[in-house]
Amino acid sequence: MVERSILPLRLTKATLHRSGKTLVGPVDMTLAPEGFTIVMGPNGAGKTSLLRLMHGLERPSSGRVEWAVDEVASRPRQAYVFQQPTLMRRTALDNVAYPLIVHGMKRQAARARAAEALRGVGLGDHAGKQAWYLSGGERQKLALARALIRNPEILFLDEPCASLDGRAIHDIEHILLTAHAAGTRIVMITHDHGQARRLASDVVFVHHGRLHETAPADAFFVSPQTQEAHAFLKGDILI
């Protein structure tokens, strides 16, 4: 049986308030079934809130966030990589095997799959290590391997490469491009303009909780339509 795609994701006047402040919204947008979307914008613009809203970690205060399928049916097909990867107090291998085991796979089979996934992200030698002892880049790769282990249809990433060096960024981008080539829809926040240019198929520019611009990457980087995006790309400080 071919599973029905959970995409497109449609946000209709979706808003998120927290203690009287509007963090994001109202947002109207549609995430098409394919692509590598980069979310850009200054700090505090509401990028993370937007992703959390899409992923269902936050419920919209008003408006709607709708998948092509029932919300409950959409959950197992999504994954999220946090800015600070939350590593469980287990070995690297058990961290990656966890999502499989918790959703019913036999421990042994799950560990075998996890070991394979760890090799895939270049952490094959660290399988038996406590996750806590990994370096920053290794942790982020571990979180990626864990997020991808159940072959999600869509993967959200919140600045996965913040404060990593060139080598680690290169590795992570490679993992992401591989996953994308294999059919994973990706939505990723980044502050790194170079990275955005390297990866994006389309760009969402967020400022003050609003979507200021959504455009294909080529168009966005060459000729941004809004003044804010133009200033942002030029390197001006947006307040």
Partner 1 sequence: MNDVLEGLRQAALLIVTFDADLMQISARSLQVTLTATLIASAIGLPLGGWVAVHRFRYRRSVIALMNALMGLPPVVVGLLVYLMLSRSGPFGVFGLLFTPTAMIIAQVVILTPLIASIAHQAIRELWAEYHDLLISMNTTRGQRIRTLLWDARRALLTAALAGFGRGIGEVGAIMIVGGNIDQATRVLTTAIALETGKGNFALALGLGFVLIGIAIAVNMAIHFASKTEVSSRW
The dihedral over CA atoms of 165, 170, 175, 180, expressed in degrees to the nearest 10, equals: 120
Rule CB under 8 A: say whether 98 interacts with partner 1: yes
Q: What are phi and psi of 216, to 5 degrees?
A: -60, 150
Applying the rule CB under 8 A, the residues between 54 and 73 that interact with partner 1 are 55, 57
Rounded Cα gap, residues 75 and 102, in angstroms: 14
Binding range to partner 1, per CB under 8 A, among 8-16, 77-85, 186-194, 204-212: 77-85
CB of 151 to partner 1, least distance (A): 14
84 Rama sector, left if φ>0, alpha if ψ -120 to 50, beta otherwise? beta
CB of 83 to partner 1, least distance (A): 11
Beta carbon nearer to partner 1, 13 or 75? 75
Q: How many residues bind partner 1 (CB under 8 A)?
A: 18
Q: Which of 11, 23, 24, 79 is the binder for partner 1 (CB under 8 A)?
A: 79
Quick note: the x/- pattern for partner 1 over 132-151, rule CB under 8 A, is x-------------------
Rounded Cα gap, residues 59 and 146, in angstroms: 24
Helix (H, G, I), strand (E, B) or coil at 237: coil
Rounded Cα gap, residues 97 and 114, in angstroms: 5
CB of 94 to partner 1, least distance (A): 10
Binding range to partner 1, per CB under 8 A, among 34-42, 94-102, 178-186, 197-205: 94-102
Rule CB under 8 A: say whether 130 interacts with partner 1: yes
Rule CB under 8 A: say whether 99 interacts with partner 1: yes
Binding range to partner 1, per CB under 8 A, among 84-92, 172-180, 188-196, 198-206: 84-92
Q: What is the SS3 string spanning 90-142?
A: CEHHHHHHHHHHHCCCCHHHHHHHHHHHHHHCCCHHHCCCEHHHCCHHHHHHH
Rounded Cα gap, residues 137 and 174, in angstroms: 13
Per CB under 8 A, residues contacting partner 1 are 55, 57, 75-76, 78-80, 82, 86, 88-90, 98-99, 102-103, 130, 132
